[in-house]
Amino acid sequence: MGIKKTVSVLGLGRMGSALAKALVGQGYEVTVWNRTPKELPNTRSVATPQEAFKSDVVVTCLSTYDVQQPLLTNEIKTLVNLTSGTPEQARATAQWAKDNGVEYVDGVIMAVPQQIGTEQAKIFFSGSENHHVLQAFGEPVYVGEDAGLAALHDLALLGIMWATFGGYLQAVALVGSEGIAPERFTPMAMSWLNEMGTLLPEMGEETRTRQYETDVSALDINVAGLRMLTEANREQGLDTTIPQALHDLFERAQRGGHGTHSIASVIEEIRK
Ligand SMILES: NC(=O)c1ccc[n+]([C@@H]2O[C@H](COP(=O)([O-])OP(=O)(O)OC[C@H]3O[C@@H](n4cnc5c(N)ncnc54)[C@H](OP(=O)(O)O)[C@@H]3O)[C@@H](O)[C@H]2O)c1
């Protein structure tokens, strides 16, 4: 076995600590830096980011890019950036790295800290095709040369997660307004979500071909349904932000001439 690279981790929050522990577990020599000094077993703690830049690879996992950017210097050899951000922020950091002779990998962690080091943790990465130390954290998935692509995938998938969680919480509140307990309702929601997931390939294909003819369910019916959902939430004394927003978006697509088309046609309104 070859000698393992030395690795520094900048940021020892919930995620950064899990990353550093996983690296230690994989036998790397790990240096750590955190704004608030923090000790982590079997790592070397340093007082400044500059001391951490002596390692072969620097992994950053800070709260935001705004916090991270001022810390970076051209002393870094390879930067594996696991701080979450937008595609534009990732591209700007990639450009900064190029201008400063720093090899750059942009990664996003599709997992919670407790999953780090297991195969459930998917790490999407873009920019350099060399995944360096990412496999210590989970399964690296290369998504393309453009450094912004990992962040793009991250936010797209998180968008599904937030929309789903928002819809679930609204539903729990709605049934809960009549005393139905979450433990009774949640299994129904899970089986419904599984079923809905099977509809995505066809919907995706419709968005690609832009052919929205349907004999399943027309947008008109769904707009009417969303109006009922919004009204029902109001009647039960609940917030209507989520159903109202969906209703308004779907209704705009309906007004745009998609009333007899499938739900997939709403993408035309989103893309505007
Ligand atoms: N937690 C998750 O489930 C998860 C999942 C996927 C991706 N991520 C991403 O991982 C990154 C870190 O998340 P986290 O959950 O570890 O957050 P966290 O527990 O809140 O840790 C934030 C880290 O950023 C540091 N920090 C904040 N402000 C700073 C400043 N002004 N200067 C220097 N350091 C500063 C903190 O240092 P101090 O300790 O000194 O405050 C800490 O090390 C985020 O970009 C997040 O989106 C997290």
> pLDDT, tens digit, for every residue of 192-220?
999 999 999 999 999 999 999 999 899 99
34 lines ligand 1 (CB under 6 A): yes
Query: 12 CB less than 6 Å from ligand 1?
Result: yes
Q: Compute, in angstroms, the gap from residue 34 CA to the centroid of ligand 1.
A: 10
Please tell me the distance between residue 127's alpha carbon and the centre of ligand 1 in angstroms: 22
Predicted confidence at residue 128, as pLDDT, reads 86
Q: Could you tell me what percent of the chain has a pLDDT over 70?
A: 99
Measure the CA–CA gap between 91 and 243, rounded to whole angstroms. 35
- Measured in Å, residue 107 CA sits from the centre of ligand 1 at 15
Sign of the four-CA dihedral 213, 216, 221, 223: negative
Going by C-alpha positions, the residue among 25, 185, 153 that lies closest to residue 84 is 153
State the amino acid at position 217 in one-letter form.
S
| Nearest residue by C-alpha to atom 31 in ligand 1 | 67
Query: What's the rounded Cα separation, in Å, for the pair 67 and 93?
Result: 13
Cβ-contact 206, 266 below 8 angstroms = no
Q: Average the pLDDT over 17-45 and give the result.
A: 97
Say yes or no to pLDDT of 1 above 60.
no
Mean pLDDT across 97-113: 96
Q: Which structure tokens are listed for 164?
A: 């789903």
Please state, as a whole number, how many other Cβ atoms lie within 10 Å of the Cβ of residue 245.
Answer: 13
227 strand-pairing partners: none
Residue type, 256: G
The CATH fold assigned to 153-271 is N-(1-d-carboxylethyl)-l-norvaline Dehydrogenase; domain 2 (1.10.1040)
6-146: CATH, from 3.30.2090.10, 3.40.190.80, 3.40.50.720, 3.20.20.30: 3.40.50.720
- From the CA of 108, give the closest atom in ligand 1: 7
Mutate to test the pocket of ligand 1, among 8, 9, 12, 15 (most ligand atoms within 8 A of CB): 15
Say if 6-146 and 153-271 have the same CATH topology. Answer: no
Closest listed residue to residue 171, CA positions, set 186, 158, 183, 187: 186
Domain ranges across the chain: 6-146, 153-271
Q: Are 154 and 84 in contact (CB under 8 A)?
A: yes
For residue 102, what are its two tokens? 């720093």
Q: Is 98 in the pocket of ligand 1 (CB under 6 A)?
A: no
User: Measured from the CA of 66, which atom of ligand 1 is nearest?
Assistant: 31
Q: Integer distance in angstroms from the first to the last C-alpha of the chain?
A: 54
Predicted local distance difference test score (pLDDT) of residue 140: 96
pLDDT, position 109? 97
Please tell me if the CB atom of residue 32 comes closer than 6 angstroms to any atom of ligand 1.
Answer: no
DSSP codes, 19-81: HHHHHHHTT-EEEEE-SS----TTSEE-SSHHHHTTSSEEEE--S-HHHHGGG--TT-SEEEE
Whether 122 lines ligand 1, by a CB cut-off of 6 Å, is no
Distance of alpha carbon 34 from alpha carbon 32, whole angstroms: 7
